[in-house]
A and B are shown apart, each in its own frame.
Chain A
């Protein structure tokens, strides 16, 4: 394993661009520093701006497995770190009862590696290499605060202690990407260990480029129109403003429908692809669609 997989910022950008991911300088530097310093990256931003995608692209760029932990409320150590395979353990006990020597050895064999189920965090720590895995801890704000405590040991020392066996220390510390939609503040101790980056909605130029890269064969004029409309939509205070994900979905939808030119009718008819709240769709109906298509909505 090389300690520094990215020789320069530009190298990160090139590798990501090969995978159709447009990384601006800030993001590229974050990735490079995270690799150099062996620190996790904490990405915050609205839903659909490409936070999760970064981890996937990073794994592909480094040609290494992506281990994903999707967080949810109530996530605990047994689903995130490790769990014992109780069924097998009890089976083992029953079998050992037939045999006196096995019975004597039971204490030492019952908590053997064979009965250990590796959950995502332990799997990432125990990843045998040759290159470190990419560990994606997605939507960490959904997990409750107790869970962040588990993360601290993992993320600062890249080790996990299983009381019955001992401590597993990573031979190839994983690249860690944490994402948060910011539905709550994370613990300071956790934040301190990470490189923090707020991922904003892309600039029009970047968004146009992303659409062209990700939706092959899209008409250049349509890509421009979509970009402009997205700017217009984001200027309205909807409950959920559309992100890049919605822009891509919409572009694909328009392409699939064979639309070559955007109009107010097309926008209203396909609003469900970009706006995900009923109130927002209704709100759009009340607005001047042509102004939005021009990127400049007037607030009612």
Chain B
């Protein structure tokens, strides 16, 4: 037998609080739904109880995993799980919950240290690589985002002009003329936004361009909320969430926390492979513009670069490669990685500072 209905509810509410702290969007509406669901199951069966909660409180694969972990922690770890099932009085339960909470807190506090130990990489102070005096790129980046990220939608928008007659509106509007179709409403295609996926090289050879790269990544991510940004050197890390922070300082701190391979070696093929199997598949690939920012110096397998680039180009609508070295007048494609990738790049463009970015925007307009 499970604890009284009230105790069950109490536990559920507490558990919802834990989930919220873990970052699940457990809104009051969801909690109510979950409590409703509990009325339709046999609460003595733990698997059913767990599933009924999960169905209502988690709504993606990642959230399911977080939920399972939290559930284990919350319900399993208590030494009194059996007591919970055999029914206990509210008073003692609250006491135990308090205890449980304390142990949970201690656990959470202990975690970062534990992670730090396993982390072999080094920590880079990115704030020194952010140039606060650089000319503001906001305006130019917004323009760049607009150029890159719009395309005609398949949806129509009605109005006075357009390539197509909007029959629905026409019939409705001409009611006053006794349904003689005198003035026609028309419809034209809406503009729709494209998704940007940015893959940015932060290996040692790119260090000189770091201030510009950071500005570009931060700016584009802020301008296009739905875009995704990954950085790579020997490993690949997604930093989209960090770039969504409101201030540059918060972002830099968080990026430095999560990316431990900054200024490392380069494995372009692996990074693009990760893109192909992950981020690209998680969104409408045909509506994606992939931007790779790298100098193309690579110490991975060259064949891998070619095959992954080919796969990438076939999936997304456009592949843009921005090479900061390309601006130099003496530039020749020497980097082997770059040579391998070049046949599969739709637009190969220079950019290393604000001025070259302006040229890039102008060139994109011609595409």
Residues in A lying within 8 Å of B, measured CB to CB: 9, 25-26, 29-30, 32-33, 36-37, 39, 42, 44, 73-74, 76, 78, 83-84, 86, 89-90, 93, 97, 103, 106-107, 110, 142, 144, 146, 182-185, 188, 191-192, 194-198, 237, 239, 279
Evaluate contact between B282 and A194: CB separation under 8 angstroms.
Answer: no
B41 within 8 A of A: yes
Evaluate contact between A185 and B60: CB separation under 8 angstroms.
Answer: yes
Evaluate contact between B167 and A33: CB separation under 8 angstroms.
Answer: no
Name B16-42 residues within 8 Å CB distance of A.
25, 27, 29-30, 33, 36-37, 40-41
Evaluate contact between B179 and A198: CB separation under 8 angstroms.
Answer: no
Evaluate contact between B41 and A33: CB separation under 8 angstroms.
Answer: yes
Within the complex, what minimum Cβ distance (angstroms) separates B156 from chain A?
8
Evaluate contact between B60 and A26: CB separation under 8 angstroms.
Answer: no
6 interchain pairs, CB-CB under 8 A: A39-B33, A110-B171, A110-B179, A192-B29, A198-B61, A239-B276
Question: B39: nearest residue on chain A (CB-CB)?
Answer: A36
Evaluate contact between A198 and B64: CB separation under 8 angstroms.
Answer: yes
- Give the number of chain B interface residues (Cβ < 8 Å): 42
Evaluate contact between A76 and B155: CB separation under 8 angstroms.
Answer: yes
- Give CA–CA (A83, B166) in the complex, Å: 12
Evaluate contact between B155 and A32: CB separation under 8 angstroms.
Answer: no
Inter-chain contact count A-B, CB under 8 Å?
103
**Chain A contacts of B36 at CB under 8 A?**
37
A-B contacts besides A89-B179, A90-B181, 17 pairs, CB < 8 Å: A29-B52, A33-B40, A39-B33, A83-B168, A89-B171, A93-B179, A110-B171, A142-B284, A144-B155, A183-B283, A183-B285, A188-B25, A188-B59, A191-B60, A196-B54, A197-B55, A237-B277
Which listed residue (A33, A90, A196) contacts B52, Cβ 8 A?
Answer: A33
Which listed residue (B154, B179, B277) contacts A74, Cβ 8 A?
Answer: B154
B346 within 8 A of A: no
B131 within 8 A of A: no
**Chain A contacts of B37 at CB under 8 A?**
33, 37
B311 within 8 A of A: yes
Evaluate contact between B311 and A191: CB separation under 8 angstroms.
Answer: no
Evaluate contact between A25 and B47: CB separation under 8 angstroms.
Answer: yes
B307 within 8 A of A: yes
- Give CA–CA (A9, B285) in the complex, Å: 39
Evaluate contact between A30 and B55: CB separation under 8 angstroms.
Answer: yes
Within the complex, what minimum Cβ distance (angstroms) separates A85 from chain B?
10
Question: B315: nearest residue on chain A (CB-CB)?
Answer: A239
Question: A141: nearest residue on chain B (CB-CB)?
Answer: B284
Question: B48: nearest residue on chain A (CB-CB)?
Answer: A29
Name B's interface SS.
Answer: helix
- Give CA–CA (A36, B282) in the complex, Å: 32
- Give CA–CA (A249, B282) in the complex, Å: 26
Evaluate contact between B282 and A183: CB separation under 8 angstroms.
Answer: yes
- Give CA–CA (A194, B51) in the complex, Å: 14
Within the complex, what minimum Cβ distance (angstroms) separates B149 from chain A?
15
B290 within 8 A of A: no
Give the 7 A-B residue pairs with the shortest CB-CB distance, closest first: A74-B154, A191-B59, A195-B55, A36-B40, A196-B59, A93-B179, A184-B283
- Give CA–CA (A42, B64) in the complex, Å: 13
Within the complex, what minimum Cβ distance (angstroms) separates A159 from chain B?
19
**Chain B contacts of A39 at CB under 8 A?**
33
Given contacts A44-B60, A44-B61, A279-B307, contact A84 B171 (CB under 8 A): yes
Evaluate contact between B171 and A74: CB separation under 8 angstroms.
Answer: no
**Chain B contacts of A107 at CB under 8 A?**
175
Given contacts A39-B33, A239-B311, A279-B307, contact A192 B179 (CB under 8 A): no
Question: B307: nearest residue on chain A (CB-CB)?
Answer: A279
Evaluate contact between B282 and A184: CB separation under 8 angstroms.
Answer: yes
The listed residue with most A CB atoms (<10 A of its CB), out of B33, B285, B307, is B33
Within the complex, what minimum Cβ distance (angstroms) separates B64 from chain A?
5
**Chain A contacts of B33 at CB under 8 A?**
37, 39, 192
Question: B27: nearest residue on chain A (CB-CB)?
Answer: A192
The listed residue with most B CB atoms (<10 A of its CB), out of A33, A78, A142, is A33
